[in-house]
Amino acid sequence: MASTSTSSTRATAQIGVTGLAVMGSNLARNFARHGHTVAVHNRTHARTKALVDEHGHEGNFVPAESAEDFVAALQRPRRLIVMVKAGEATDAVIEEFAPLLEEGDMIIDGGNAHFADTRRREAALREKGIHFVGAGISGGEEGALNGPSIMPGGSAESYAALGPLLEDIAAKAEDGTPCCTHVGPDGAGHFVKMVHNGIEYADMQLIAEAYDLLRTVGGYEPARIAETFRTWNTGRLDSYLIEITAEVLAHTDGATGRPFVDVVADEAEQKGTGRWTVQTALDLGVPVSGIAEAVFARSVSGHKDLREAARALPGPAGEPLSPVGAEEFAAQVEEALYASKVVSYAQGWNMIAKASAEYGWDIDLGAMAAIWRGGCIIRAAFLDRIRAAFAADPGLPTLLADKEFADEVGRAQDAWRAVVATAVRHGVPTPGFSAALAYYDALRAPRLPAALTQGQRDFFGAHTYRRVDREGSFHTHWSGDRDEERTD
Ligand code: 6PG
C-alpha cells in the first residue's frame, strides 16, 4: 500500500523513520503493522525501496527519497525517528533535518547514544523550539519488530504527543501494561538505557560464571547445563537471558558436531555501553562493582597476549574434592547466581537514583522495573518484584534493604560463600560472584577498614579524617609529638 513520494507529498504519516538498517526497518514495520502510516527514508534510497517492496503489504508506508519529501510526509507535530549509528551520524542527521522542521516538531533518537550527547542535542534543539527525545530501545532486531521496551526521555510535552504511538508498538508486560513510559527530561531515557545495558553485561557475566563452574567443577557437559538452565528458568531466575543461554548451550555446531560453545573463540566483544555505565558510575560516585567486573571480564578475555604470557602460571595443586555432589553443587550455584544478580540490580538502581537526583530527572524507580518486564534483553520475572519493592517504598535506599530480597539473599549466603570458596579452590575465575559477595559483606559490615585508609591518607598527605566520637576534621602531627589538631 505504499504511495509514491513527490515534492508535493501530502502530510499523511503519523510517524517517520530515517535510517533503515535492520533496527530502523523493523521499527517502521512495527508501526505499520499497528495501523500507523509511516514515512520511511534512508540515505541510500535503494534501501527504502527494498523495505517497501518487501514489506509494503504489512501496512501504510510513505517512501521518501529526499529529506524534504520525508518531512513533508509527516503530520504535525512531526515525529521523526532517527535510527542511525550513535555518534557523528546522529549529529549529521540532526543537522540535515532540523532546518526543515518547525516549532513543536520532534526528533527522536532511537540509537544507543551517550546520555551526555543527548543532553547536548536536546539543549541545542530546545533553543529552536524543537523537541529532542533520546529514546532507549531494547530488545534487538526481534524486539524492534514485535515489541521492544522503550525508554524515552525529553520533555513531558513531547511525550504527550509521542507516548501513545510508542506505547502502541512496545512490548506488553504480563499484566498488559506497555513496556514504555516517560523516563524523565533530556538525557534520562538514554541514561536508563545505558544502565540497562550495564545490568545486561553483569547478568551475562554471572550466567557465564555459573556455566563455567558447572562445567569445570561440576563436570557437566554443555547439554546438561542447558537442561539445568531450563529448570532454573521455571523458578525465580526465569528470564530471557537464562532462556537463550540454554538454547546456545544446547546448540551443536553443524560443521564439527561439537558443542557450539566449544567452537567459538573465547574473546567477548563489546560495543561500549557497559563501559559507559562504569565510567559514568565512577563520575557519579556510585559503586557498581558487578557491572565493572563484567566489563573487565570481557576485557581480560580479549587480551590474548596477556593470557598467552600467563598460561604457564601455576593453578591450585591437585583437584580438591568438592565436598558436595554435582547436583547439590548446581543448587548452590543457582543460589549464588540469584544473590549476585540481586546485588547487580541493586547497584544499577542506585546509579539511576543518583543520576536522577543529580540531574533533577525525578525518575520513578519502580516504573523502570515495570517497563523492563517485557521486550528488553534483561526481561525477567523478578523485575515485577523490583517494581513492587519500589511501589511499597519509593525511597528504598537499596534493593538489599527490601525485606523480601534481604531474606532471600540472606538465605542464599551460605551457598553463595561455598560457591565462591569452591571457585577459588579450583582456580575458576568468578569475578562477578566474588565482587557481588564482597559488596554484600561491605554493606553489612559494622566497621570497614576504610578507617585505616583515612589514617594512611592523613599520614602521608595531611588529608585529615573525621572521628567517631567528635564532630569536625582532624589532622595528626605524625612526625612530631603526634598531637591531633582540629582543622575545620
Ligand atoms: C538491547 C541491547 C542492545 C545491544 C548492545 C550491547 O537492549 O537491545 O542491549 O543495545 O545488544 O548493543 O552490545 P555489546 O554487548 O556489543 O555492548
For 312-352, the three-class secondary structure string (H helix, E strand, C coil) is: CCCCCCCCCCCCCCHHHHHHHHHHHHHHHHHHHHHHHHHHH
Grid cell in block for residue 130: 524543537
Grid cell in block for residue 120: 547536548
By most ligand atoms within 8 Å of CB, the mutation choice from 22, 377, 379 for ligand 1 is 377
Beta strands in 359-461 (DSSP E): none
* Spacing, Cα 65 to ligand 1 middle (Å): 30
For residue 298, the ligand 1 atom closest to its alpha carbon is 15
pLDDT of residue 173: 97
User: Which amino acid, residue 470?
Assistant: R
Measuring from atom 1 of ligand 1, which residue has the nearest CA? 138
The b-or-e profile of 443-482 (16+ CB within 10 A means b, else e) is eeeeeeeeeeebeeebeeeeebbeeeeeeeebbbeeeeee
Measuring from atom 10 of ligand 1, which residue has the nearest CA? 138
Phi then psi for residue 46, to 5 deg, are: -55, -35
- Say yes or no: CB of residue 141 within 6 Å of ligand 1: no
pLDDT of residue 1: 44
pLDDT of residue 483: 77
For residue 136, the ligand 1 atom closest to its alpha carbon is 7
- Say yes or no: CB of residue 293 within 6 Å of ligand 1: no
- Say yes or no: CB of residue 85 within 6 Å of ligand 1: no
Query: What residues contact residue 251 under an 8 Å CB cut-off, 6+ apart?
Result: 259, 260, 261
* Spacing, Cα 197 to ligand 1 middle (Å): 6
Measuring from atom 4 of ligand 1, which residue has the nearest CA? 140
- Cα–Cα nearest to 334, from 394, 269, 275, 408: 408
Reading the chain (488 residues) residue by residue, the pLDDT tens digits are 444 444 446 899 999 999 999 999 999 999 999 999 999 999 999 999 999 999 999 999 999 999 999 999 999 999 999 999 999 999 999 999 999 999 999 999 999 999 999 999 999 999 999 999 999 999 999 999 999 999 999 999 999 999 999 999 999 999 999 999 999 999 999 999 999 999 999 999 999 999 999 999 999 999 999 999 999 999 999 999 999 999 999 999 999 999 999 999 999 999 999 999 999 999 999 999 999 999 999 999 999 999 999 999 999 986 655 667 889 999 999 999 999 999 999 999 999 999 999 999 999 999 999 999 999 999 999 999 999 999 999 999 999 999 999 999 999 999 999 999 999 999 999 999 999 999 999 999 999 999 999 999 999 999 999 999 999 999 999 987 667 888 88
pLDDT of residue 320: 56
- Say yes or no: CB of residue 140 within 6 Å of ligand 1: yes
Phi then psi for residue 380, to 5 deg, are: -160, 150
For residue 273, the ligand 1 atom closest to its alpha carbon is 17
- Say yes or no: CB of residue 57 within 6 Å of ligand 1: no
* Spacing, Cα 298 to ligand 1 middle (Å): 14
- Cα–Cα nearest to 339, from 410, 235, 233: 410
The b-or-e profile of 32-54 (16+ CB within 10 A means b, else e) is beeebbbbbbbeeeebbbebbee
Grid cell in block for residue 73: 510526509
Beta strands in 24-144 (DSSP E): 38-41, 61-64, 79-82, 106-109, 131-138
Cα separation, 304 vs 237, whole angstroms = 33
Count of Cβ atoms closer than 10 Å to residue 311 Cβ: 7
Query: What residues contact residue 202 under an 8 Å CB cut-off, 6+ apart?
Result: 290, 291, 293, 294, 341, 344, 347, 348, 432
pLDDT of residue 480: 77
- Say yes or no: CB of residue 118 within 6 Å of ligand 1: no
pLDDT of residue 318: 65
DSSP conformational letter for 176: S
* Spacing, Cα 181 to ligand 1 middle (Å): 20
Measuring from atom 12 of ligand 1, which residue has the nearest CA? 271
- Say yes or no: CB of residue 138 within 6 Å of ligand 1: yes
| pLDDT tens digits, one per residue of 81-90 | 999 999 999 9
- Say yes or no: CB of residue 149 within 6 Å of ligand 1: no
- Say yes or no: CB of residue 139 within 6 Å of ligand 1: yes
pLDDT of residue 9: 61
Q: What positions carry a catalytic annotation?
A: 193, 200
* Spacing, Cα 411 to ligand 1 middle (Å): 33
- Say yes or no: CB of residue 112 within 6 Å of ligand 1: yes
pLDDT of residue 384: 97
Confidence (pTM): 0.96
Query: What residues contact residue 101 under an 8 Å CB cut-off, 6+ apart?
Result: 71, 78, 80, 107, 128, 130
